[in-house]
Structure 1
């Protein structure tokens, strides 16, 4: 989608928001006038003429109608504001503004997930940060799990890809889902919430509820109290009957206060999110899907909207008890605590154990919507061809997904089991190219499109040695840390699983003689029929491995050129080894004069 088209939609939303705010102010004034009229009529009806009760009832009914219209308008205003944010985020992904997105997925980084560090899968300026529209705990975890360097089954990748492609095509659905997820996040931050896991655990617990006798008794007592109040208002009975019944209800509520508070407090945090879940389930219910995964999700949650609607009603009543004055009023006349607990127990018995599945299904859908953002933001993407058999990659005009499309340079390459040595001067693009291959393979694993004109590959477990650091506390140097990384690759190769190995500037932590010897040894060990090994290096001696009859090796390189005494790069991958260097020139440009 072009930026011009997106910006036009944003401008239209801004006009709707401005007009809506004017109508909202008018509704606010009408509500104030109607409630004053209702109170005045109530006063006149009690002290003077009962006919004013009718005026009071009509005024209050009109107030409720206007309040409902006002509430719907405010929700529409919020929806429009959030949808404008959704569209702005797509523009940010087209540029470099996505790096300011708050969710980086850094909590999913683990010390043993070196590929996530090396390829920028998680953390600051990562693929996760670029893609993520997930807001629930299930959705964020599911997306992080899908961005995996591990080999995937072809069937699973195809099923996920069909779901992601459908989300990409149904842009209205995907944008609406993203909008509702942003609202979920916004509403969830209004109050401190318990973890969702605590709520789910409570919902799945077996709990002995109140007996039918207790339920019937609560209903009859509440009905009698309300009826006595109505009879009092029409001067049919005196206030003593009302007071006795109200005090009895209130005493019972206070007697069971701690027991009820313990149960209701565990679900009360969900009150601010139930409406959002209901809208998400309604959106799923009203959308027709074709892909296997999305159809399964829709089938799984077919009862969810009605169930969550009932839960929302219960939680709305629970919220009333948070107000100290309302607590006494509603419990005195309606035994609210009893009614809420009874309703919640009934809901748990019917739907409690299904809630986790429903929320997990939403999380899966969030992950697919996140992966679809790549296609929404990029002009050039393709559905990968899923190959089987030996390690294989054929990429035409492949680009790094985290670079702006206008400035990214596309390259093409075909890889099969063997070793590929990439040389080139500093800053020429060697490391970025290795990451481009790796991160697009991860996108294929996840089920997303890839940033290429065409991309065919077999699924492979991905191993990297790129951002290698020393560890002073454990006495590990950079060189030894890299040895440990390559040792893990060698151990994994014994399982004979298809592997893609990416090593950047191999053994840079030691002297050139040892580096060349160790690198040659590592390359020979990793040269297996089930492994593709890509290595960047400044050591031209390693290029001679292409003449080694014991292994299959190819040389590629990046190079620089000079214009007006400035160093320039075309970032184009070329066959053969590099024939130029630029370290001395970079020193000169930095102001260091050559010394003899």
Structure 2
């Protein structure tokens, strides 16, 4: 059972972990310094011993050098491992420091996914999902290319089935208290210093055709040269032929290998590059293989790392072993002997290609599983950091959206004003009127962001929430398109036409609009807005519309069971404008444009009697 979390306990946990890792890093650095000093002394001792005993002959000099260099080489491996531990521990320090910054709403240390921004998307641009100070930046803790892509996909294409949402919620709940696992998984991915495109390159490599095993001539040569060498060796031992035949076969095998050296070197470089990328995922695979999850989503995710009887991490270890064997070609003596007798280099390349053919089909599955776990860990970190948030309840009853004390996750907790929403039938629209800066647009984004989080399987910034997972679509920030020679008004019409088309096709939508038809005159705007809302009602749609046009409030009289008016008011007291940001029932009474113009010193001509 997870102990009760509060914001204070979360902060204290991150601070304690950061301090513990800093102490551990200090100990690692001291060990690195000590081992470095011992290695230097062993190297100097080997040289000094060789010089001191040079007159004693090689029988003395060689053992002295060996005695010094063997521990030197062992310590070199220890040194390399300590440098990895140092980098890994530094990442853990950074993770906890970044979480502390994130809890203070400082998110510059996280990736905002600016490359995912798309003004044509049904809602992501309107809701500031990607980019600087975005929701993605606030939630994203992924450390792999595949996790980043998966999480962005969840933002852009959330779930729309109750069972799927509940299963992901279960996975996020299970991962939330597993702070050690999540931070180890994240730190392991962060240690790798490759390029973001490495993951995509790895998938292309898995799909590429093997070269050497498809060559019949090279396949024949792998049997020919060892066979000839064995034959001439047996004949020579029997005295039936000259040893020159074995020598000639040996030389021909070496020469053929040398002729292939450039192709094999390119092969070696390519595979070592891919092995380095795969190696960065092995530790994450091992963490997942050691996990014993209970939830369906997590269990399925971890099972995908099992290929037959071989775990993914073991399969990659086999590739590493084969690549290390191929590296023997860098030893001149081994190169000549192995290739001369066994045509070994090409045979080893084919063994590696056989590995690729065996596991290439599984590789995308492994990497996708890592990406899913990476994305789930981000949602779990979001849940862990917000113990006051709640997991909403999905329902199959269309249309339901009910929430109490709902706030925007990106507004500082000390300044966030929370409001309710209640929508329990289809069709149904909430029309919100109010003064400038009173909170209408913020409320729309608050509803949209929490609705999206609910459909993603994440917790929401509300005390309670029940929802039906329809497809979210918004029109809050339509812009001119200079490239397409498209006006603001035409761009908005295209967005609205797309919504109507989707409704006519029978799609279930949750619509959020801010100030319909902003790009036309007031008479056209009012007439068009009234007509559009009536059409939404006929098409059995649900949504929220914010407007300055108080005339839209009269629609509640025409559709008393399907439209409800709410308002955000501004108050003027002692020549000061104040806002409560609290939503109330009814149509707005106070507007503030003229007051604000006068307040800012903009001349207002007073009306005169006719």
Global fold match (TM > 0.5): yes
Structure-to-structure mapping, 1:132-531, within 5 angstroms: 132-148=140-156, 152-184=160-192, 186=193, 188-189=194-195, 195-202=201-208, 207-208=213-214, 214=222, 251-302=255-306, 303-315=311-323, 331-332=335-336, 338=346, 341-416=349-424, 417=426, 418-528=428-538, 530-531=540-541
* Aligned match of 1:59: 68
SS at 1:50 equivalent: helix
Structure 1, unaligned runs of 5 or more: 222-243
Q: Distance in 2 between matches of 1:45 and 1:130?
A: 67
Q: Cα distance 1:7–1:330, how it changes in 2: closer, same or farther (>3 A)?
A: farther
Residue 540 of structure 1: CA displacement? 1.0
Unaligned runs of 5+ in 2: 1-8, 230-247
TM-score normalised by L of structure 2: 0.84
Task: Please give the residue correspondences for 1:554-565 in structure 2 after superposition, counting only pairs within 5 Å.
Answer: 554-562=564-572, 565=575
Secondary structure of the 1:134 match is coil
Give the whole-Å Cα distance in 2 for the aligned partners of 1:87 and 1:558. Answer: 40
**In 2: Cα distance, 1:249 partner to 1:560 partner:** 90
1:104 paired residue among 87, 105, 112 = 112
2:417 counterpart SS class: coil
Distance in 2 separating the partners of 1:143 and 1:189: 18
* Residue 559 (structure 2) pairs with residue 553 (structure 1): no
SS in structure 2 opposite 1:309? helix
State how far apart, in whole Å, the 2-side matches of 1:527 and 1:128 are. 33
In 1, distance between residues paired with 2:591 and 2:81?
A: 66
**Alpha-carbon distance in 2 for matches of 1:511, 1:193:** 51
In the superposition, relative to structure 1, how do residues 352 and 99 fare at CA in structure 2: closer, same or farther (>3 Å)? Answer: same
- Match among 86, 90, 97 for residue 95 of structure 2: 86
CA distance in 2, matches of 1:545, 1:595: 34
Contact 1:250/1:328, CA 8 A, preserved across alignment = no
Q: Distance in 2 between matches of 1:22 and 1:51?
A: 35
State the shift of 1:503 in Å.
Answer: 0.4
Structure 1 stretch displaced more, 513-522 or 284-293:
284-293
Q: Distance in 1 between matches of 2:214 and 2:572?
A: 80
Change (3 A) 1:412 1:105: same
Contact 2:203 2:364 in 1 (8 A): no
Assess if the C-alpha contact under 8 Å between 1:149 and 1:463 holds in 2.
no
Q: Identify which of 588, 591, 597 aligns with 1:581.
A: 591
What is the alpha-carbon distance in structure 2 between the residues aligned to residue 591 and residue 215 of structure 1? 93
Check whether the contact 2:401–2:423 (CA below 8 A) recurs between aligned residues.
yes
Alpha-carbon distance in structure 2 between the residues aligned to 1:170 and 1:433: 34
State the Cα distance separating 1:55 from its structure 2 match.
Answer: 3.5
- Deviations along 1:159-201, one digit per CA (max 9) or x if unpaired, are 22221222212121111111112123x2x14998982232222
Alignment partners' CA distance in 2, 1:522 and 1:219: 83
> Residues 55-103 of structure 1: CA distance to partner in whole angstroms, max 9, x if unpaired?
33332221233223222222221111101111122223222321453x3
Match status 1:34 vs 2:42: yes
Counterpart of 2:176 in 1: which secondary structure? Answer: helix
Change (3 A) 1:319 1:536: farther
Which whole-Å CA distance do the structure 2 matches of 1:8 and 1:212 have between them?
Answer: 63
The change in CA–CA distance for 1:132 and 1:312 in structure 2 (over 3 A counts) is farther
TM-score, reference length from structure 1: 0.86
SS of the residue corresponding to residue 360 of structure 2 reads: helix
| 2:543 corresponding residue in structure 1 | 533
The change in CA–CA distance for 1:563 and 1:9 in structure 2 (over 3 A counts) is farther
Pair 392,426 (structure 1): closer, same or farther in 2 beyond 3 Å: same
Measure the CA separation in 2 of the matches of 1:129 and 1:292. 28
Pairwise CA distance, 1:128? 2.1
| Counterparts of 1:592 and 1:319, CA distance in 2 | 78
Q: Aligned with 1:476: secondary structure?
A: coil
Q: Distance in 1 between matches of 2:199 and 2:338?
A: 28
417-426 or 348-357: bigger deviation:
348-357
Within 2, Cα distance between the matches of 1:542 and 1:93?
41
Q: Is 2:6 the counterpart of 1:2?
A: no
Q: Shift of residue 320 of structure 1?
A: 8.5
Q: Distance in 1 between matches of 2:475 and 2:567?
A: 19
Displacement after TM superposition at 1:377 (Å): 2.4
In 2, distance between residues paired with 1:372 and 1:149?
A: 19
**C-alpha RMSD of matched pairs (Å):** 3.4
The 1:586/1:330 distance shift into structure 2, 3 A limit, reads: farther
CA distance in 1 between counterparts of 2:210 and 2:120 reads: 33
Cα distance change of structure 1 residues 290 and 70 upon mapping to structure 2, 3 Å threshold? same
SS in 1 for 2:133: coil
Judged with a 3 Å threshold, the aligned counterparts in structure 2 of structure 1 residues 74 and 122 are, in CA distance, closer, same or farther, namely same
Q: 1:475 and 1:300, CA in 2 relative to 1: closer, same or farther beyond 3 A?
A: closer
Instruction: Write the distance in 1 (CA, Å) between the matches of 2:364 and 2:119.
Output: 29
CA separation in 2, counterparts of 1:397 and 1:270? 50
Tell me, yes or no, if structure 1 residue 50 matches structure 2 residue 59.
Answer: yes
Larger Cα Rg: Structure 1 or Structure 2? Answer: 2
| Bigger mean CA offset, 397-406 vs 276-285 | 397-406
Contact kept? 1:396, 1:453, Cα under 8 Å: yes
